[in-house]
Each structure stands twice: as structure tokens, then as C-alpha cells.
Structure 1
Amino acid sequence: MSGKFIAIEGLEGAGKSSAIASIVAHLQAKGIRPETVREPGGTPLAEQLRQLVKQSWQERVSPQTELLLMYASRVQLVDNVIKPSLAKGRWVIGDRHDLSSRAYQGGGRQLGDELLVNLKRLVLGDFQPDLTLLLDVDEETGLQRARERGELDRIEQEHIEFFQRTRQRYLAIAARDPQIVVIDANQSMTDVHQAILQAIEAKLF
């Protein structure tokens, strides 16, 4: 079987980590040993860029600066990890991918989707996941879950309107893209994981 790339998307507190663990276990039961990656990050250079994006600064971080750091990290991960793994027939499960930038920077930071689409085409070409699972959670619920995990990073400390715009952009893009499956992440973890595995079975097997 050829390699597949599955991207898991959603707001903070959507349950991406537990969803990835469930997917990994499901695939391993089928004899598939997937590789997991995260964005931003996933390579030594990309992890350094992650720290630059996540940490707080005494100066204002321009939305464009944040966007370019995200894509610099993404290209490193795609070129050095994801593409080589797929070429070897391996499955890759990603904690976030390009859709995150379209939602967070395009929607949340209000940079617009056209800029994001053009930037993605410039640096990644036609590369995209075989399946994107969008874990859709209410903004307040997601942020409360994130707070319960511990200290919030720079982006997680944004006001609620930022996350409302981000969620709206996520859902607007998903409504136009059949490769994106929206999962209701407000329901129980058991139900969320069941819906995720059903989507994977329907789309990739």
C-alpha cells in the first residue's frame, strides 16, 4: 500500500493529540506503522522556528512575520520528512498543516485567503494531505480545555474574537473542499474517535 498523509486540524483544545493516538493505534492494528509529525516543528530547524512563533516578545509580531515563519517551518518539514516518508510508502499523521495557516493567519489575523493560497502554491506547489480531519470545537470550550493543560503560549492568549474568526475560516474552507472531513469535537472523546476512524476507513481504504 502506498503512503498516505493525514492532517489533523482544529482550534486549541480540539483534541488533536488524543485523536492522533487513536489513529496510530488503528493503523498499527492493520499492520501500518505511521510516522507522526507536528507543525510548526518536526525538524531541528523547524523546531527552532516553532519557538520563535510561540514565545512572547516585547515587540509586536507582525501577522506577515508570523505567517512567513509558519511557512518556513512547514517547508522544512515537508521537504525533509513528509515527502521522503511518503516516497518510501510510509503513512504520516500530521498535527496541523497548511489549513492551519489559512485559518489562523488568513482568518484569525485577517490576511485573507487569496494571499495564503498564493503563498502555499509558491512554496509547496500542489502538495497536500490525502485527508484532512478538522476537529471542530466551540471556541470557549476549546480554550477552556487549553487552559486546563497549563500555561498558554502567545497565540493561545489571543482574544476570543481571534478564535471565532479562525473557526469561521476553517469551516468556510472545509465547506468547499471534499478532502476535508469535519468532525464534531464537542461530543465525547469516544464518539470523536469513532467518527475519525470511520472517516479514515471511508476515505483511504
Structure 2
Amino acid sequence: MPVTNHQRGRFITLEGGEGAGKSTLLRGLEAHLREQGIDLVVTREPGGTDVGEAVRAVVLDAGNNELCAEAELLLMFASRAQLVRQVIEPALAGGRWVLCDRFTDASYAYQGGGRGQPIARIADLERWAAEGLKPDVTLLLDLPVSDGRARAAGRGEIDRIEVEGDAFFERVRDAYRARAAAEPARFRLLDASASKDDVLAQAIAGVAGLLPEATS
């Protein structure tokens, strides 16, 4: 029997620059949603499938310093295409919720803002490779670049993206904030400089409207 519109699951994404606290928030929000009885799939980008994890290893390997911006963009969407078709869409169609660490907004920020790839090119890939899929809610953890990089510095070995300079990450942050301003109905801008408990509270408030009791 086909799944009707009201049975379709919800899609929530977490976005933000380096050191913004996505991993910590992901764990807290996952626990909260499961406590609400939500049937939840948790995944990440790039990755989330065997193909995607192989792509992730290539993209983040600091030894691949000759990887060009165009190849990086295509690899990100190759991983995304597999994730959408293998994990996200089947889950949503089956009424399950999906919580994803990064999605297409990251390409607009990192490959677009950071690497200078044309926005129109990313939009074309979004329509084709990602089937035009957009999250119901995107939680954007916003933090000054200097603060985020200071946090990230304590995590050990840095990857191929993290070796970029402050100017790169300022462009990434600007691109994220511009997208949030352009789509205020979808984005929830979170103050990532707050305590982890406060950030979680912001996130819970940001997704509260999706919960069944809020829409009944």
C-alpha cells in the first residue's frame, strides 16, 4: 500500500563549521527524539553507506592534496546520491524520521562559499543527484571561526578540509548564514557558543513543531 503524505517521515539536518559541536548535539538530539517515541534513522555526510564511507575517506584524506574543487564537489554528490536512494528516501517513505549530520547545504557552504564553485552548478546537482530533496528543518550551529578552530584544534590529527585557513572558513560561515537568511522557515540558527545543554535546548525547540502532538 502506498504511504500517504501524512505518513511520510521527517528529515532533520545539522550543519555548521568546524568545531561548532555537531557531534555532541547529534547525540543529544537523537536521545531526545527517541524518548519521544520517534522511529529514527541517524546518518552522516559524506558517508552513511558503504559507497559513501569510501568517498569520505578520499575527500578527507589529507594526503589527497591535489584533489581539485570540481572533483571534490562531484564526490560529495556521489556520496549524497547513494545516501538519498539507499537510506534517506526509503526511510522517509516508510514513515521513519532521518537525522543527518550535514546534507546539501554543506556543499553550498564548503564547495560553493569555500571553494568558489558556481551556485548554479551546485543547484543542478542538487536537483539531479539529490533528487531535489530538502530537509524539513535544518539546525545551523553558528560560531565565530576563531572559536570553532580553537575547539577543533584539540581533537588531534586534522583532515584535508580542516587544513584550510581562516579565510576559507569565514567564507563557509558567510555562505551558511546567507542560506539561513534566505530560507528562514527551514533553518533554525543556533548559538553554538552557548553551553552544550543550552544548544540542545535550542535544537529541541527548533524541531518541536515537527512532533506529532504539535501538528495534530
TM-score category of the 2 structures, normalised to the smaller one = over 0.9
Map 1:183-202 to 2 at 5 A. Answer: 183-202=190-209
Q: Tell me the equivalent position of 2:146.
A: 140
Equivalent residue for 2:157, pick from 151, 155, 179: 151
Question: Is 2:188 the partner of 1:181?
Answer: yes
Residues 99-130 of structure 1 show CA distances to partners (whole Å, capped at 9, x for unaligned) of 00000000000113222112211222321111
Map 1:12-161 to 2 at 5 A. Answer: 12-57=18-63, 60-161=66-167
Give, in angstroms, the shift of residue 138 of structure 1: 1.0
Give, in angstroms, the shift of residue 58 of structure 1: 5.8
Which segment is superposed worse, 105-114 or 51-60? 51-60
Q: 5+ residue gaps in structure 1?
A: none
Q: 5+ residue gaps in structure 2?
A: 1-6
Which secondary structure state, in structure 1, belongs to the residue aligned with residue 14 of structure 2? Answer: strand
AA partner of residue 201 (structure 2):
Q
Question: Structure 1 length as normaliser, TM-score?
Answer: 0.95
Residues 122-167 of structure 1 show CA distances to partners (whole Å, capped at 9, x for unaligned) of 2223211111111111111111111111111010110110000000
Which secondary structure state, in structure 2, belongs to the residue aligned with residue 128 of structure 1? Answer: coil
Structure 1 segments (4+ residues) deviating >6 Å: none
When the two chains are superposed, the root-mean-square deviation of aligned CA atoms in Å is 1.3
- Measure the CA separation in 1 of the matches of 2:65 and 2:204: 43
Which secondary structure state, in structure 1, belongs to the residue aligned with residue 57 of structure 2? Answer: helix
Which secondary structure state, in structure 1, belongs to the residue aligned with residue 140 of structure 2? Answer: strand
Question: Structure 2 length as normaliser, TM-score?
Answer: 0.91
Does the 8 Å contact 2:64/2:160 carry over to 1?
A: no
Which secondary structure state, in structure 1, belongs to the residue aligned with residue 199 of structure 2? Answer: helix
Shift in alpha-carbon separation, 1:195–1:60, aligned structure 2, 3 A? same
- Measure the CA separation in 1 of the matches of 2:80 and 2:28: 24
AA partner of residue 153 (structure 1):
D
Identity across the alignment (%): 43
